[in-house]
Structures are given as structure tokens and as C-alpha cells.
Amino acid sequence: MAASGEQRHEIYLAGGCFWGTQEFLRHLPGVLETDVGYANTTVSNPTYEQVCSGRTAAAETVRVVYDPTVLPLPLLLEAYFASINPTNVNHQGNDVGTQYRTGIYWTDASDAAVVSESLRALQGSYAAPIAVEALPLSNYFPAEAAHQDYLVKHKNGYCHVDRGLAERFAKEHGLA
């Protein structure tokens, strides 16, 4: 149940391995809940093994529920961009494969313009083309329980995202 005055909005962000992306996002002020799963797949309810085969077209993705009055979508996207290399195609950190591509997937059509503008602005900071996929969400299947909150359960688990980034980003943007 939402707290009094709390607003809830949802977006799906793929940033390579979903463990590190989830851990980063869940520490941002205004993020209310996260879970990890597989977005825009050609296979219903795929397993991790199927996704890793490269034959499902799935992206490892984090479902993000956030309060836009605390963390507006442009600022959430700015944080997300700080956690990825937006010019890499199908890899982040040590992870390589189509499931590790970057992507922003929305369920609210009004988010498309915000995403487009954010990506346009981001391109101004890079000579190489931005490789972040931007599409409406066609489907999303939660990943297996072992992958949910993985880095909460495994404090020393692999993470391609700088573990202090969320705290630094929040302080730099007056969210802390």
C-alpha cells in the first residue's frame, strides 16, 4: 500500500547483469521497490538458462517502482546512465551477450518522450553512438527467486556497478 502522498510509477531498466543494476537502483531515494526479470522476450516465462542461450531475445531487466515526486524520471534516467557504459553493445562489465544489452522499457506512453529527450541529451556527451535500446515494454517475466535481491543475499557477489554510486549520486543531486 502506498504511503500517504506517495506516488507510484513504473519503468523497466536493463543495465547489464541485473544483480548490480538492481542493487544500485534500490539505493536511490524515491525508488520504492525493484525486482529482476526478463523483458521483451520471445519465450514465455523463460528460465535463466534459456535467456543465457541467447535464443530468447530477452534482456536482463529491473522493474523499478518509484515516486516521481521524489525522483523524477529524467533524474532516474540520469542515475541509470551513470551506472552503465551507454555505448557498449550487448555487454556491461565482464558480462557479454544479448541479454546484457542496455535498455529502457516503458509501460506509460507519456514516458517515451522523456526517454527520447534523455537519450538525445546523453548523446551530446559521447562521440560513439548511444546503444541503449528504448522501446515500449512488450512483456516482462520475473526471474527465479535465486536472482531476486541477489546482492542482498550475497554481499560479496559479483557486481559490475560501483557499489557507492547510488549514495554519491543522491548526495550530488540533493536527494540524500
The CB-side HSE value for 110 (13 A sphere, CA atoms) comes to 3
The one-letter amino acid at 14: A
What is the rounded CA–CA span in Å between residue 110 and residue 76? Answer: 15
Whether 159 sits among the annotated catalytic residues: the reply is: no
State the CB neighbour count (10 A cutoff) for residue 114.
18
- List C-alpha distances in Å: 140 to 11, 32, 124, 165, 172: 11, 19, 31, 27, 32
The one-letter amino acid at 129: P
Q: Pick the catalytic residue: 13, 17, 36, 115?
A: 17
- Catalytic residues, by residue number, are 17
